[in-house]
């Protein structure tokens, strides 16, 4: 179980929400141009490696651009927390009111959506939109970016290499992120100002909610090990599991062509 706090897209969740993911996408493995110097018809300064425009699929792949995890295990983890009451804070309750749309202005819940990794600690609606589009591109439209991250793809690359030597079962990995902040400012407000000056009140609840949602999963594994988990997740996995290169199951299982 990989668990950490993150920034969340207000179009996917809210402060304190916990996301359990199918995909982890590496945003940093792209070409990057300063947005002030891009052509007028470019939607972003990020271009997939080997591409010429933002919508091109990467021509060059390192292998760590996107990882896919066990959907059956993810869905069970979400199911176990379907009625879970998550912690909140008075500051977070007030702050999310500045977002005049759902789910940003709703109470925190457990959701199924995906993480995006970058060494740069980025912020802003335009970058969020760009990376959301990139997630769709790399997952053939099946992924939905919601959570920021820094280390997830590196962690999964290490697990993948261990799996190639039989030391790790990649189908047993759970990736969780809880929302300590939004990945963009409230509508009509300064991105830079919100990043440096706002206290959204999501930090403490996000830490608490990782435990609140993680504990039932661990309890279920212990309680139902023989019936559900011992020989692999019952009724699954039903999807490809591994990296974009198909290292665990042969060439191009994610249909990247």
pLDDT one-digit tens code per residue, 122-161: 999 999 999 999 999 999 999 999 999 999 999 999 999 9
Ordered alpha helix ranges (H), 139-202: 152-164, 191-197
Ordered structural domains, the chain, with CATH: 2-33+64-243 (3.40.50)
At 159-212, the pLDDT tens digits run 999 999 999 999 999 999 999 999 999 999 999 999 999 999 999 999 999 999
Task: Count Cα atoms within 13 angstroms, Cβ side, for 227.
Answer: 5
Please name which of 14, 184, 23, 1 lies closest in space to residue 113, comparing C-alpha atoms. 23
Q: What's the Cα-to-Cα distance from 86 to each of 2, 71, 114, rounded to whole Å? A: 19, 23, 20
Residue 233 is predicted with a pLDDT of 80
Residue 251 is predicted with a pLDDT of 41
Those residues whose C-beta lies under 8 Å from the C-beta of residue 157, and which sit 6 or more positions away, are 63, 64, 67, 243
Of the listed ranges 91-100, 210-219, 243-252, the one predicted with least confidence: 243-252
Residue 256 is predicted with a pLDDT of 34
3-state percent breakdown (helix, strand, coil) of the chain, nearest 5: 35, 20, 50
Would you say residue 8 has pLDDT above 90? yes
Counting residues of the chain whose pLDDT is more than 90, the rounded percentage is 92
Over the chain, what is the mean pLDDT? 94
**33 band by pLDDT with thresholds 50, 70 and 90:** very high
The answer to whether the pTM exceeds 0.85 is yes
Strand segments (E) across 150-225: 175-182
Task: Give the H/E segment covering residue 24.
Answer: strand 23-26
Residue 236 is predicted with a pLDDT of 65
């Amino acid at each position: 179980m990989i668990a950490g706090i993150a920034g969340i897209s207000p179009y996917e969740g809210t402060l304190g929400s916990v996301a359990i993911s199918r995909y982890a996408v590496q945003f940093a493995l792209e070409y990057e141009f300063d947005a002030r110097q891009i052509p007028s018809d470019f939607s972003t300064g990020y271009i997939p490696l080997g591409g010429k425009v933002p919508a091109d699929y990467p021509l060059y792949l390192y292998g760590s651009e996107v990882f896919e995890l066990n959907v059956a295990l993810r869905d069970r983890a979400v199911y176990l927390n379907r009625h879970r009451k998550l912690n909140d804070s008075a500051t977070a309750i007030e702050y999310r009111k500045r977002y005049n749309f759902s789910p940003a202005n709703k109470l925190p819940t457990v959701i199924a959506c995906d993480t995006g990794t970058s060494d740069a600690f980025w912020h802003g609606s335009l970058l969020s939109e760009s990376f959301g589009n990139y997630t769709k591109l790399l997952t053939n439209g099946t992924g939905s970016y919601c959570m920021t991250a820094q280390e997830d793809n590196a962690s999964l690359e290490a697990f993948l290499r261990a799996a190639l030597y039989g030391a790790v079962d990649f189908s047993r990995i759970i990736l969780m992120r809880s929302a300590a902040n939004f990945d963009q400012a409230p509508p009509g407000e300064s991105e830079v100002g919100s990043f440096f000056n706002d206290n959204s009140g999501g930090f403490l609840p996000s830490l608490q909610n990782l435990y609140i949602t993680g504990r039932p999963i661990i309890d279920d594994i212990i309680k139902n090990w023989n019936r559900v988990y011992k020989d692999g997740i019952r009724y699954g996995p039903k999807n490809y599991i591994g990296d974009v290169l198909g290292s665990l199951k042969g060439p191009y299982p994610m249909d990247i062509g």
